[in-house]
Each structure stands twice: as C-alpha cells, then as structure tokens.
Chain A
Amino acid sequence: MSNFWNFLLIGVSNGLVYSLVALGIVLIYRSTRVINFALAAMAMFSTFIAATLIDRNVPYFVAFLAAMVFGFLLGAVTERFVMRPVESKSPLNAVIVAIGMLIFLEAMAGVIWGAKLRNFPSYFSLIGLKIGGTRLAISDFDLFIVAVVVVLLLALSVLFRYTKLGLMMRASAFAPEVARLLGVRVGRMLTLGWGLACAAGAVAGLLAAPKVFLFPNNMDGVLIFGFTAAIIGGLDSPVGALVGGLLTGVALSFIGGYLGSDLETVGAFLILVVVLMARPEGIFSSMSARRV
C-alpha cells in the first residue's frame, strides 16, 4: 500500500515537470501550429548555463532566474530569426528547421561543456521526507517542484486571462489575421510566445536535471514525456498540458514502479498510441468545443 502512495507522489512530482514541457509545446503549437522539437535542447542549454553559473559560485536562485531569462531570449531569437523565415512555407519546413535547431544546440553544448554526464545541484534535499516513522519517496525538492510549477502556472494564467498583453497573445494565436486587422502586432506576440514557452522549458530542465543529470541530449527523454502530455491535453490547451502532464507522470510512475523502470518510455508511447486512437484531438482541445 505504501508503495502505491509513493508511486503516486513521485508521479505527481515528475508529472508537473512534464506539464511544464507540455506547456512549452502547447504555447508554441497553438500560435504557430509548429511542434518545437528543439525545446529539449533549449531546456538543456539553459540548464547548462545555470550549472556553469553555480560552478562560479553564483547563488542558486540567481542562476535559476538567469537560466529562465536565457531560455526566454533563446526562444525569442529562434522565433524571430530561425522560424520566421519558414513561417509561410509548408509546415514540414518548420519541423525540419526545429529538428536542425535541436541538433545544433546539442552539438554546441557538447563542444562547450563536453559530452560527459554531470550532476546538477539541487538547492533542496533529494532525500525522502520523513513522516512519523516512515520515509516517503518524495523530498523537499519535490515540494519545491510543486511550488515552482504552481506559481508559474498561476502567473501565466493571470497574464493570459487578465492583461491586455495576454488578450493580444491569445487573439494572435486564435486568429492572426483578424488580430492584425485590429492593430495587434502579431509578429511580436509570436516572438513573445516563443520566449515564454522556452522559459517554461528552461524551468522544466532546471527541475528535471537533479534527477536525470545533465548531458547534451538527456532532456530528449523528458521532451518525449512532455510531448505525450501535450498530446493527451490536446496540444492547444494550457489546462490540458497541466492535466496531461500529471496523468503521464502518474501513469509512468506506476508502470516504472510495478513493471520495471525500463518500460517507462515504452509506456509513454503506448499511452500516446491509445490516446491518438481513441481521441485524436486530445482531452482538452478547444477544437472539440468548436465543432458544436
């Protein structure tokens, strides 16, 4: 029985990280209909930046913020100068450019930081919490993950729902042409959207790194889980990203816990296939609402 609760708690903690990755995918997909395959590399690169800063004795939280800002700028620059030129071409071009960006960033990280696994410090303890006499599988760091993700999601929903900027960003995502006719600078909104998405990706990298360690391509696995989460959530709904991440995290935690951890990736693909067969538009997609 205690195994069950431990798997559930770990699943929630991991799932929130997948939610952030999914959110990064969703924020970009719903405004440009592009899957940003480079998100994994952007998260990795930003995390390496934080690791380098921490090595130089920069305080953890300053490095954390710096990595977020770096992620934001990397995303914004990528949209403006790498993705914008292929925006009007067929969607396949954007996919190929995004994959190219992924390979480029991972290779650059290898050149700069070397292709060896390194660990990433966590500010909080990774040792399981003790409640009464039993030790749980979740740690102070997992609580930190929950807090960070909740704060981030609240901040983003306030931005989108209650500010003029958020309204312009949503309008640009839903109906770019109409938004332009109303005087919204859609191009800027896209750049901003990519920035926010990649900042969310950077945070996911920072939160995943203490557990999965840091290596030029080891955020790819996190991206696959995040991508699964985004598909479950319907690719264009931020709420769907959150729920999809939690579902994916918990499901994989049970699969890993009861069946063996090497089945986790297989499990993710299995979930993906089942969801795509049963409900291809995802669970939270606005497309189903629009079909009414």
Chain B
Amino acid sequence: MLTVENLSASYGPVRALSEVSLAVERSRITAVLGANGAGKTTLLRTLTGLVPAASGKASLDGVEFIRRPAEDIARMGIAHVPEGRGVIQELTVEENLRLGAIWRRDIDVQAKMAWVYELFEPLKPRAGKPAFTLSGGERQMLAVGRALMAEPKAMLLDEPSLGLAPLVVASIMALLRRLCDEQGLSVLLVEQNARSALSVADDAVVLSLGKVVVSDSAEKIRDDEELRHHYLGF
C-alpha cells in the first residue's frame, strides 16, 4: 500500500505541490486528475526522488521512502513510467526490457521477458530493433512492459494516453486494470484524459494549483457533473 501524507514540493520560490495526501491500496488504481500545471507530474517526480520534497511523508507498505535517492526508491519496488514514454531510444526493445529488471538478482529475466512479449504481442518481432523505430503506442507498451519486469509493488504512470489513438488508450487502460488485479499492484495513474482514467480507476484525486481539491471514489467523481465541468472539462 502506497501512502502519501502532506507532501509539498517547490521549484525555487514556486510551490508546485502543497500538502498532498492520498493512499492507494493493493490491487487498486487511483487516478490523479487536473489541468495542465496542476502538479500531477510534480507529484510523481517528488514521489520517485527526481524532485526534492520540501516536507511531508510517503511510504510503501509502511516503509518511508521520501528523500531517498531515486535509484533506491526504484529498488523498493516503485516503478515510475515517466511522461513521453521514457523508453531509451538508442537501446533495443530487448535491452530496454532487460534494463527494467537490472537490479533484480532473483528474477528469471528470460521468463519475465517472454511474459511481457505475451502481454504486448507487437513488441516481440521488434525485440532487436532500436526503440526509436517503434510507434507511439508500441513505445507506451514497452515503457509499461519494462516497468513490469522488476515485479514492482507500486506503479506510477504519467499520462500513458498522451498522443495515442482512442483505441490504443482503451486497450492500455484495460490492460492496466487487469495487471493491477492480477499482480496486486498499487497504481497511481496521472491523466489529463480524465474520462478514460475514470473508466478504470477505483478512486480519484483532483489537483488544482498543487492542492488536492477533491478526493473520492472514481464513480462519485464521474457522476458529479458540476465537478467535472469545473475541473475536468467534460
């Protein structure tokens, strides 16, 4: 279970996150919604150690991790799929996948890779190709597949739907739901595309100017027309 308590972060004098709290239990998806600049990406980057936290706490299954170096946080089992896919373009598909489990010594990399290729069939024939030859959707599959290689406990996804065709978005969302249930993952899903995020999420928080303005079940937020109009634009 991923818990965040009163987390704040700043870029110089600009406060980008203020006192954000949320919790994601195992096998559950929490969507983080909000407009551009609401602090969604900063929230993920602060959690995984790329942006220093000004104050607050975060823990995974009771183990505090905020203010640890990014690589140690990754090694605790927190996978961050950054915005813009985050695949390493110069490396091949297979090298990207291997890298996903690079710190795990107790994993059968071949078997894991075979499993990822089963989940994302289009990747298999491209195994030896550099990642820059992949389409946007394939890169997203690779980024998610790579994150799964290390058998993470929590997965943080930043705008996985960005720039993808609606059909691809739908299949990625459905897959996230399935993985979350099967693997017992805690998923924090940052999305601008509120509609598709709410379609798979259990809970949702809405950020505005770095603050949590609403925190409720996804269903309630979906049904609250006024809130949707005001913050989510649909």
Count chain B CB atoms within 10 A of each CB in A164, A167, A180, A181 and give the residue with the most: A181
Is A211 engaged at the interface, CB distance under 8 Å to the other chain? Answer: no
Is B153 engaged at the interface, CB distance under 8 Å to the other chain? Answer: no
Question: Given A167-B95, A167-B99, is A181 in contact with B89 using a C-beta cutoff of 8 Å?
Answer: no
Q: Decide if B132 touches A292 in the complex (CB within 8 Å).
A: yes
CA of A180 to CA of B95, assembled, Å: 16
Count chain A CB atoms within 10 A of each CB in B49, B70, B95, B100 and give the residue with the most: B70
Chain A residue contacts of B90, Cβ below 8 A? 170, 174, 286, 290
Count chain A CB atoms within 10 A of each CB in B48, B50, B71, B80 and give the residue with the most: B71
Is A65 engaged at the interface, CB distance under 8 Å to the other chain? Answer: no
Q: Decide if A183 touches B82 in the complex (CB within 8 Å).
A: no
CA of A170 to CA of B96, assembled, Å: 11
Is A241 engaged at the interface, CB distance under 8 Å to the other chain? Answer: no
Is B103 engaged at the interface, CB distance under 8 Å to the other chain? Answer: yes
CA of A178 to CA of B91, assembled, Å: 12
Count chain B CB atoms within 10 A of each CB in A175, A180, A182 and give the residue with the most: A182
Q: How many residues of B contact A (CB 8 A)?
A: 26
Is B20 engaged at the interface, CB distance under 8 Å to the other chain? Answer: no
Chain B residue contacts of A289, Cβ below 8 A? 132
Question: Given A168-B99, A182-B146, is A175 in contact with B88 using a C-beta cutoff of 8 Å?
Answer: yes
Chain A residue contacts of B86, Cβ below 8 A? 175, 178, 181
Q: Decide if A181 touches B91 in the complex (CB within 8 Å).
A: no
Contact with A along B26-57 (1 / 0, CB 8 A): 00000000000000000000001110000000
Q: Decide if B88 touches A180 in the complex (CB within 8 Å).
A: no
Is A185 engaged at the interface, CB distance under 8 Å to the other chain? Answer: yes
Task: List 17 A–B pairs whose Cβ atoms lie within 8 Å, in order of A's numbering.
Answer: A164-B98, A170-B90, A171-B99, A174-B90, A178-B82, A178-B88, A180-B49, A180-B71, A181-B48, A181-B50, A182-B103, A183-B71, A183-B74, A183-B75, A184-B103, A186-B71, A289-B132
Q: Decide if A167 touches B98 in the complex (CB within 8 Å).
A: yes
Q: Out of A174, A175, A182, A286, which one reaches B102, CB within 8 Å? A: A182
CA of A266 to CA of B90, assembled, Å: 36
Q: What is the size category of the interface that chain A forms with chain B?
A: 20 to 34
Chain B residue contacts of A186, Cβ below 8 A? 71
Q: How many A-B residue pairs have CB under 8 A?
A: 69
Q: Decide if B98 touches A182 in the complex (CB within 8 Å).
A: no
What is the interface of chain B, defined by CB distance below 8 A to chain A?
Answer: 48-50, 69-71, 74-75, 79-80, 82, 86-91, 95, 98-100, 102-103, 132, 146, 150
Is A140 engaged at the interface, CB distance under 8 Å to the other chain? Answer: no
Nearest CB of B to A106, in Å: 36
Nearest CB of B to A234, in Å: 13
Q: Decide if A174 touches B103 in the complex (CB within 8 Å).
A: no
CA of A174 to CA of B132, assembled, Å: 13
Is A87 engaged at the interface, CB distance under 8 Å to the other chain? Answer: no
CA of A171 to CA of B90, assembled, Å: 9
Q: Decide if B75 touches A181 in the complex (CB within 8 Å).
A: no
Q: Decide if B100 touches A182 in the complex (CB within 8 Å).
A: yes
Chain A residue contacts of B49, Cβ below 8 A? 180
Question: Given A167-B102, A292-B132, is A174 in contact with B91 using a C-beta cutoff of 8 Å?
Answer: yes
Chain A residue contacts of B103, Cβ below 8 A? 182-184
Chain B residue contacts of A182, Cβ below 8 A? 74, 99-100, 102-103, 146, 150
CA of A179 to CA of B70, assembled, Å: 10
Q: Out of B71, B80, B95, which one reaches A184, CB within 8 Å? A: B71
A180 nearest in chain B by CB position: B70
Q: Out of B82, B95, B98, B132, which one reaches A181, CB within 8 Å? A: B82
Chain B residue contacts of A177, Cβ below 8 A? 50, 70, 82
Count chain A CB atoms within 10 A of each CB in B48, B90, B95, B132 and give the residue with the most: B90
